Amino acid sequence: MQVPIVSQLMAEGKTPEILFWVGCAGSFDQRAQKITSAFAQILNKVGINYAILGKEELCTGDPARRAGNEFLFQMMAYQNIQLLNGYGIKKIVTACPHCFNTLKNEYPELGGHYEVIHHTTLIQQLIDEGKIRLKEGGSFKGKKIVYHDSCYLGRANGIYEAPRKVLEVLDAELVEMKRCKSNGLCCGAGGAQMFKEDEKGNTRINIERSNEALATGSQVIAAACPFCNTMLTDGVKLAEKENEVQIMDIAELIAQSM
């Protein structure tokens, strides 16, 4: 894919309007890479002036801080902030709610002040402006879709409507789990839980959440976070439903329907 890189644009004397922050999952996880390329496809089609940091991008430090390593978090954050400020970046979009929350709410106290938006919000804006046009009778027409709220998008930042408004455009039947919006259940990966052993209990959180989603009878479970995507995929596989139910990011759903 042809994706512009900030350092190359700067060398040509150009500045990107939006920096697309890819994040660790979107860069290295094979499943999440598909989400990254779907979102980049949308940005390319719409003709947005964007760029990524490429090899200069470090982890935001979110898992380090959540796991209690404040020193490592601040070290990574300072490096990122120096780089972003050096390039004069003003607006950042990311497909990861963990990166979104850290860049938006935790970087300002360290000197990183940016307008940070989540990719579902940007996609919704582009649909509202008529820049994203979906083909008639797309591949999700009439299908049942259930949306899982990411903790860092929902409870932490109050973004509940943008992803749902995007899904409504697909001409599908949008259903809800009993625990949704501010009452939504975590997928089990947040707070650096993704990287540690399970604590004692009867059921893994991702299995409980996946079963709630499967109980709605949906053919598609929509997520807006690479971590949620992984956890729900594992849960659906365990229930042996991976052939009947797809777990897809909102960017993938839109990219397929354009």
Per-residue pLDDT of the chain (258 residues; tens, 9 = 90+): 889 999 999 999 999 999 999 999 999 999 999 999 999 999 999 999 999 999 999 999 999 999 999 999 999 999 999 999 999 999 999 999 999 999 999 999 999 999 999 999 999 999 999 999 888 767 788 899 999 999 999 999 999 999 999 999 998 899 999 999 999 999 988 877 777 788 888 888 899 999 999 999 999 999 999 999 999 999 999 999 999 999 999 999 999 998
CA nearest to 150, candidates 219, 92, 94: 94
DSSP 221-239: EEES-HHHHHHHHHHHHHT
Query: Where are the extended beta strands (E) located within 103-165?
Result: 115-118, 144-147
Same fold, 6-124 and 134-257: yes
How far apart are the C-alpha atoms of 188 and 194, rounded to whole Å?
A: 7
Select the CATH number that applies to the domain covering 6-124 from these four: 1.10.3710, 1.20.81, 3.40.50, 3.30.200: 3.40.50
User: Tokens representing 252?
Assistant: 């993938």
Q: Are 22 and 55 within 8 A, CB to CB?
A: no
- Is 0.75 surpassed by the pTM of this model? yes
Q: Taking Cα atoms as reference points, which of 126, 146, 153 lies closest to residue 225? A: 153
Domain boundaries, the chain: 6-124, 134-257
Architecture of 134-257 per CATH? 3-Layer(aba) Sandwich (3.40)
SS3 call for 145: strand
